[in-house]
A and B are shown apart, each in its own frame.
Chain A
Amino acid sequence: SQQGEEDPQALSIQEGENATMNCSYKTSINNLQWYRQNSGRGLVHLILIRSNEREKHSGRLRVTLDTSKKSSSLLITASRAADTASYFCATDNGNQFYFGTGTSLTVIP
């Protein structure tokens, strides 16, 4: 069964706005990663947050992790049209590696 579920499934915003997407998972994890996928292409790693970390930043990306709620969020600030893509969280519990269901982000110029 799927380990991670993301919401919203789809998100449409204006360029310059912030985009927030959430990931919830079922079992305890070693770390959580976020990947981006442009339409029908390979995935690109964005950021990794360890289970003992609560927040991490990388450029315009901010990731939070709440292990007590088994959830993570990805915030993209000052969005650009080039950020249009699908975003997946991925969890690793030492035995299995799962991608979440994904959020499709559209940034309107």
Chain B
Amino acid sequence: DTEVTQTPKHLVMGMTNKKSLKCEQHMGHRAMYWYKQKAKKPPELMFVYSYEKLSINESVPSRFSPECPNSSLLNLHLHALQPEDSALYLCASSQDNWVADSQETQYFGPGTRLLVL
């Protein structure tokens, strides 16, 4: 199984809502990532988990809260988001963290398209 799955595919939420994005992989990868991608822009790294521990937080606002319950799952909890947070949120995984091994290939999920009203 070489697939990274993400749910939901689409999400519409108000600025006072609390929601969660979910990501799952069964490739035995020990590193997982969250990216944010605005339209016609490259993905921007948000968080990196390595061996279920948060290893990189790219100065992301606290209204985004990542969680890694186990080595196969990665969540992104959303609370009090702003309209400018509307974007495609991509999850990825790799065998190991690219900081540990710079030749890591990342496998991406299809993304969750988020709209904040």
Complex Cα spacing A2 to B44, Å: 9
Please tell me if A88 contacts chain B, counting CB pairs below 8 Å: yes
- Which listed residue (B40, B43, B105) contacts A45, Cβ 8 A? B105
Contacts A/B (CB < 8 Å), 11 sampled? A2-B42, A31-B103, A33-B105, A35-B108, A41-B111, A42-B109, A42-B110, A43-B43, A45-B106, A48-B103, A88-B43
Give chain A's interface secondary structure class.
Answer: strand
Tell whether, in the assembled complex, residue B108 and residue A92 are in contact, meaning their CB atoms are under 8 Å apart: no
Give chain B's interface secondary structure class.
Answer: loop
Tell whether, in the assembled complex, residue A97 and residue B42 are in contact, meaning their CB atoms are under 8 Å apart: no
Tell whether, in the assembled complex, residue A31 and residue B90 are in contact, meaning their CB atoms are under 8 Å apart: no
For A101, list chain B residues within 8 Å (CB): 41-42
1/0 per residue, CB under 8 A from B, across A71-109: the answer is 000000000000000001000101101111110100000
Closest 9 CB pairs of A and B: A42-B108, A30-B102, A99-B42, A43-B108, A45-B105, A42-B110, A92-B102, A42-B109, A99-B43
1/0 per residue, CB under 8 A from A, across B91-107: the answer is 01000001100110111
Tell whether, in the assembled complex, residue A102 and residue B42 are in contact, meaning their CB atoms are under 8 Å apart: yes
Complex Cα spacing A28 to B83, Å: 36
For B40, list chain A residues within 8 Å (CB): 102, 104
- A 27-71 contacts with B by CB, 8 A: 30-31, 33, 35, 40-45, 48, 50
Q: Which B positions have Cβ atoms within 8 angstroms of A? A: 4, 40-45, 88, 90, 92, 98-99, 102-103, 105-111, 113
Given A44-B108, A97-B98, A50-B42 contact (CB < 8 Å): no
> Could you list 20 further interchain pairs (A-B, Cβ under 8 angstroms) beyond the known A31-B102, A43-B90?
A30-B102, A33-B105, A35-B108, A41-B110, A42-B110, A42-B111, A43-B43, A48-B103, A48-B105, A88-B42, A88-B43, A92-B98, A92-B102, A94-B99, A95-B99, A97-B45, A98-B45, A99-B44, A101-B41, A102-B41
In the complex, what's the smallest C-beta–C-beta distance from A79 to chain B, in angstroms? 21
